[in-house]
Structure 1
Amino acid sequence: MILTDSLLDFFLETRNHTEKICEPLEIEDYVVQPIVDVSPPKWHLGHSTWFFEEFILKPHAKAYEIFDEDFSFVFNSYYETVGKRVVRSDRGNLSRPSVEKVYAYRDHVTEAIKNLFAQNQDQEVFDVLEIGIHHEKQHQELLLTDIKFILGNNPLLPVYSEGFDGHPIERRQTDWISMDGGIYNIGHNSDGFCYDNELGRHKVYLHPYEIANKLVTNSEYIAFIDAGGYQKFDLWHAEGWDWVTGNKISAPLYWHDVEGSWQHYTLGGLQKIEGDAPVTHISYYEAFAFAQWKGCRLPTEFEWETAQEFFPWGKRWEWTESAYLPYPGYKKADGALGEYNGKFMVNQKVLRGGSVATPKKHTRPTYRNFFQTGLRWQFTGLRLAK
């Protein structure tokens, strides 16, 4: 049983942090959607609120008054069970409802959750609330990465916040951690929160391997570029080569060659690239090609999880060589919450760890993030294995 006071505090802390992320924005920033993968900040604010209204307040708060009947259509993301919704690519067309009204919606739902807590001591409510909190934390990470894409595609390359350190330095030599072959246990194994895709603790056999103690840095990646890595088709999967040539890719996202010097857009504006910082905003295709160039490979998610206690992690979501698949015995939950993870277990690669955009109290060694192979607007990097 989770203590209600601490869970309520966790909820309120999370709600406040989402709005803190948006404080540096101008009102015009809230509705921009440059590509389908990026949602406007206003939509994130509404969707993370709708989750609590739809899955907690509507079924469990008898006296709850729905804020706006249209908001379920506007702020539902992908839950087929719940009903119709705005097409993802049209989220940037939502000039209405206003930002002011969305913040009023947030206040309305937050107060209703607080009132429900004072009356309802149902463990089912607590469990769904905990999921909702971590769902909002996922959207906090997406908010930062989406804001970066929105501002990074503004021709003026405006500053979001000079105080956000998105490129921490790692001044250590790369060492190789040797791992013995054998049978290892994989999956969540504690009383703490986890998503259903981490459950089904099971054994895997791993051959002996080595894994790097640090992430690949910008300097190392520049060497790959200078060696013609983006022109050597033999380093790439066929699909990756099509992606490179079709999109004219020649460097990580946000990189700019300014008079022969590499600079990149950061949340603090355009800055010179720091060689000792871990490379970021690369696709799985790029991570794979770099590893090929180094005569290495990417670790599987099982190798990563087994070795993670021996190296620091959390500065970059790390691409793995593992397809996003269910663990043994995996079973989707009934109803709409069953759509949370299971239906995405196709054509995705697993990311492990976390990143500088991941909020506190959210990630853990068994956390399984997942993205399609060509996406790179998240803070993604790589760690080598062999």
Structure 2
Amino acid sequence: MTENPDPTQSADPSTSTPSTLRERIAAELDSGRRRSEGLTVGVLDDADLIAQHSPLMSPLVWDFAHVGNYEEQWLVRAAAGRDALRPDIDVLYDAFENPRAERVTLPLLRPREAEEYNAQVRRMVLDSLEHVSFDSGTALLDSGFVYHMVIQHEHQHDETMLATHQLRRGDPVLDVGAVPPPALPSGPSEVLVAGGPFTMGTDDDPWAYDNERGAHTVDLPAFWIDTRAVTNAAHMDFIADGGYDDSRWWSEEGWAWRSRTGKHAPAFWRRDAGQWLRRRFGRVEPVPPDEPVQHVSFYEAEAHARWAGKRLPTEAEWEKAARHDPATGTSLRFPWGADEPGHHHANLGQRLLHPTPAGTHPGGTAPSGAQQMLGDVWEWTASDFTAYPGFQAFPYPEYSEVFFGGDYKVLRGGSWATHPTAIRGTFRNWDHPIRRQIFSGFRCARNAEVE
């Protein structure tokens, strides 16, 4: 179940030789598949895999076969130029043709069929990998882009499947994970990020998606941002002060959502005998006060920030706090630099099944002084999901372009469920502001006083 980054991986993926790149691709493909199987055919019976545990999510067997079909389309057909293996199932596993709530009604591959299909696709991919050229001048293959895309895609579905597991009722089937590392001393509650320009986005990261491109200069006024994400204890204070029942803290849209749904706490929380409890992957336990709060919507995050006399950071503010190094004037790939994520940097890769206490992972501190900018919980920002200047859809518009606009808010930083290969300082996630089944939290920001 644990997914750890390989310490032999190159700190700079753009410098990999063809042989080391092939080795890494093969290893990462295997890592992702072992993780997928550990969330599906390795832990649940057919009835649980075929069932729809929530209308918000697909049956787990759909996700499992979908990653194989996506891999076939991009790595067997597009990258290797081979004939289609199962073109008849493409429409079944097309996410845009089939809303999640309807996928349970489709004639899906049964679990054993899906497992055999995925294995056959993988054999074809590994066989063709030896013959693919990464410097052919083809954008899809340049530096292994399409392989990186498929690797990240599977890990992203693994995180989606973890959200389905959280919604699933029944006995626990996932390991609790390792013991979290100790937290740092508390230190300052917020850090000042100086005003001025910085480079947002990227032009040269071979793992970056189209919505992370291109690099462009953004000039921001100075602002304060929380050193750490808002904790469960802080959100309990918001609840105890009547935050969910006071319309002053909520936007008009947020209050309408709150009034319509009757929500009064994060998802999966309940009050019992004066204590807050949470359900986590089939286990009921006291809510740990020092962990970042998770399973909150954008509206809840926005209301809490307003109650605290602050606001949510914009996406640009979040990225500057996470990446900008004022000493060199450059933007880093990760908050700590170029080295790929290790356990001392961040809580990533499903190593734990929960966030770590605020102040953990000193090795992941950004030059700004902000901590835990990657891992633990996805952090809501105040920004809509829109295109960067000069955006070009690649390799297909349905990855990013069709989602641009005011219906989606940007989340940054990844969560404990995000694999290290699927996160970096430029990575952009997005979702509807009402979503709570995702592993989402937030940190607050505020304007710096003008003297």
TM-score normalised by the chain length of structure 1: 0.90
Secondary structure of 2:129's partner? helix
TM-score normalised by the chain length of structure 2: 0.77
Which residue of the partner structure matches residue 156 of structure 2? 138
Which residue of the partner structure matches residue 316 of structure 1? 377
CA apart distance, 1:41: 1.3
Instruction: Write out the 4+ residue segments of structure 1 that deviate beyond 6 Å after TM superposition.
Output: 165-169
- What is the CA–CA distance in structure 2 between the aligned matches of 1:223 and 1:239, rounded to whole Å? 23
Match among 90, 93, 104 for residue 102 of structure 2: 90
Greater percentage in helix: 1
Which residue of the partner structure matches residue 339 of structure 1? 398
- What is the CA–CA distance in structure 2 between the aligned matches of 1:225 and 1:323, rounded to whole Å? 27
Residues 14-50 of structure 1 deviation map (CA, whole Å, 9 limit, x = unaligned) = 2222212333323322123244431121111111111
Query: Is the 8 Å Cα contact of residues 271 and 277 (structure 2) preserved in structure 1?
Result: yes
Q: 1:233 to 1:279 in 2, by over 3 A?
A: same
Residues 279-305 of structure 1 deviation map (CA, whole Å, 9 limit, x = unaligned) = 100000000000011001111111111
Identity %: 30
CA RMSD of aligned residues (A): 2.2
Query: Is the 8 Å Cα contact of residues 76 and 84 (structure 2) preserved in structure 1?
Result: no
Quick check: 1:17 aligned with 2:32? Answer: no
CA apart distance, 1:168: 8.3
Match among 385, 388, 399 for residue 327 of structure 1: 388
Give 1:1-386 correspondences, 5 Å limit.
Answer: 2=18, 3-22=21-40, 23-61=42-80, 64=83, 66=85, 68-78=86-96, 85-94=97-106, 96-121=108-133, 123=135, 124-125=140-141, 126-149=144-167, 151=168, 154=169, 156=170, 158-164=171-177, 172-173=185-186, 175-188=189-202, 190-267=204-281, 269-308=283-322, 309=366, 310=369, 311-313=371-373, 314-333=375-394, 337-346=396-405, 347-386=407-446
* Aligned amino acid, residue 109 of structure 2: P
Residues 167-212 of structure 1 deviation map (CA, whole Å, 9 limit, x = unaligned) = 9885653521111111121112544411111112111121111111
Query: Is the 8 Å Cα contact of residues 73 and 84 (structure 2) preserved in structure 1?
Result: no
Query: Is the 8 Å Cα contact of residues 263 and 273 (structure 1) preserved in structure 2?
Result: yes
Deviates most, 252-261 or 90-99: 90-99
* Aligned amino acid, residue 437 of structure 2: W
Which structure 1 segments of 5+ residues have no match? 79-84
CA apart distance, 1:165: 6.5
Q: 1:119 to 1:181 in 2, by over 3 A?
A: closer
Q: 1:286 to 1:332 in 2, by over 3 A?
A: same
Which structure 2 segments of 5+ residues have no match? 1-16, 323-365, 447-451
Q: 1:118 to 1:202 in 2, by over 3 A?
A: closer
Q: 1:96 to 1:321 in 2, by over 3 A?
A: closer
Q: 1:266 to 1:172 in 2, by over 3 A?
A: farther
- What is the CA–CA distance in structure 2 between the aligned matches of 1:61 and 1:204, rounded to whole Å? 39
* Aligned amino acid, residue 91 of structure 2: F
CA apart distance, 1:57: 1.7
Secondary structure of 2:207's partner? coil
- What is the CA–CA distance in structure 2 between the aligned matches of 1:108 and 1:359, rounded to whole Å? 24
Secondary structure of 1:178's partner? strand
Query: Is the 8 Å Cα contact of residues 176 and 211 (structure 1) preserved in structure 2?
Result: yes
- What is the CA–CA distance in structure 2 between the aligned matches of 1:57 and 1:193, rounded to whole Å? 19
Query: Is the 8 Å Cα contact of residues 31 and 95 (structure 1) preserved in structure 2?
Result: no
Q: 1:367 to 1:267 in 2, by over 3 A?
A: same
The alignment covers a number of residue pairs equal to: 372
Q: 1:168 to 1:290 in 2, by over 3 A?
A: farther
